[in-house]
């Protein structure tokens, strides 16, 4: 992917005096704004109201952000529960002095679970359709959002790859390193572009959106397959790498892939869409 060794030492935030505007946070904002725009077009195509779209945005933001944060804490940084509890839910660090950090430490597995739960609640309270109807459509903007989240990780020099063992790759200067690593974040971001394009194509150019669960299942299979294979060149996060053949991220990805295959090829809805 890289013809040269790149020394990566970016500015992570803009200091506005009263707080630091992190580019990682801007990537999340960009993801939600673009996702909202995509979903607006889908809702217009489906004849759904703007009021239900506004509610979807609220449910999505709260659910995904909360789930991503809790997922990170549960799977990768459980010590925060006892050492700095309020930093779990707030964009601040309290241990060792008060500091605005932005929303950092977000896990995609937690976000995926929270997305399903929040869409269930949204459907029950607002949409009143099959929950798979909304899941089949919301995964399209979610796939586009995943691209920007991984770019944010690259800006932050986090979720880095393993050393390449060659002269090619990225040297993460802010980590005090001198040897090139795989830019695993960019591998994922680039792959997620194709996940989005495939989902977008199947929704607009085929009738697969009429098959309940297919697009949702396709999303799970594509996204978590990408995640599974990129993990081979990704450095361990905290306690995730042990003596197992696979790491935590890969073990957590496998169930999502099988669930996706089930919805693509085996799921039979009990009732038809209204």
Q: Is the residue at 1 inside a domain?
A: no
From first to last of its 274 residues, the chain has per-residue pLDDT tens of 445 789 999 888 777 776 677 788 889 889 999 999 999 999 999 999 988 999 999 999 888 888 877 877 776 677 767 766 666 666 666 676 666 555 666 677 778 888 889 999 999 999 889 999 999 999 999 999 999 999 999 998 988 999 998 888 999 998 999 999 999 999 999 999 999 999 999 999 999 999 999 999 999 999 999 999 999 999 876 544 444 578 878 888 999 999 999 999 999 887 544 4
- Contacts for 40-48 with beta carbons within 8 Å, 24 or more apart? 42/137, 42/140, 42/203, 46/137, 48/127
Q: Is the residue at 110 inside a domain?
A: yes
Q: What is the span of the domain harbouring residue 187?
A: 10-265
92 in Cβ contact with 99 (< 8 Å): yes
- Torsion from C-alpha of 102, 106, 110, 116, nearest 10 degrees: 50
Q: Is the residue at 182 inside a domain?
A: yes
Q: Is the residue at 69 inside a domain?
A: yes
- Whole-angstrom CA distances from 90 to 21, 98, 101, 149 are 15, 12, 9, 19
Number of domains observed in the structure of the chain: 1
Which DSSP letter does residue 157 get?
T
pTM of the entire predicted model: 0.83
104 in Cβ contact with 98 (< 8 Å): no
3-state secondary structure of 55: helix
Q: Is the residue at 273 inside a domain?
A: no
Tell me the CA end-to-end span of the chain in Å, nearest whole number. Answer: 47
Q: Is the residue at 271 inside a domain?
A: no
Q: Which helix (H) or strand (E) holds 6?
A: strand 5-8
Q: Is the residue at 15 inside a domain?
A: yes
- Give the annotated binding-site residues: 150
- Whole-angstrom CA distances from 130 to 124, 213, 254, 259 are 9, 10, 26, 18
Distance CA(182)–CA(139), nearest Å, equals: 28
Q: Is the residue at 175 inside a domain?
A: yes
């Amino acid at each position: 992917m890289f013809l040269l060794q790149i020394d990566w030492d970016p500015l992570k935030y803009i200091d506005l005096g009263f707080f630091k505007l992190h580019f990682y946070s801007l990537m999340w904002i960009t993801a939600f704004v673009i996702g909202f725009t995509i979903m607006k077009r889908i809702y217009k195509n489906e004849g759904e109201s703007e009021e239900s779209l506004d509610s979807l945005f609220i449910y999505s933001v709260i659910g995904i952000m909360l789930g991503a944060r809790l997922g990170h804490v549960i799977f990768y940084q459980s010590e925060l529960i006892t050492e700095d509890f309020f930093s779990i839910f707030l964009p601040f660090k309290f241990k060792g002095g008060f500091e605005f950090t932005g929303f950092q430490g977000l896990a995609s597995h937690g976000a995926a679970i929270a997305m399903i739960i929040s869409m269930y609640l949204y459907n029950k309270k607002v949409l009143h359709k099959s929950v798979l109807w909304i899941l089949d459509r919301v995964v399209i903007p979610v796939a586009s959002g995943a691209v920007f989240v991984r770019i944010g990780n690259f800006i932050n020099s986090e979720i880095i790859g393993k050393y390449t063992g060659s002269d090619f790759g990225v040297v993460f200067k802010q980590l005090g390193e001198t040897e090139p690593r795989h830019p695993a974040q960019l591998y994922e971001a680039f792959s997620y572009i194709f996940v989005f394009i495939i989902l977008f194509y199947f929704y607009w150019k085929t009738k697969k959106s009429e098959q309940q669960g297919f697009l949702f299942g396709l999303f799970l299979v594509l996204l978590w397959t990408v995640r599974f294979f990129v993990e081979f060149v990704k450095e361990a996060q905290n306690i995730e790498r042990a003596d197992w053949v696979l790491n935590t991220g890969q073990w957590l990805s496998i169930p999502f892939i099988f669930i996706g295959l089930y919805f693509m090829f085996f799921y039979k809805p009990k009732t038809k869409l209204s």
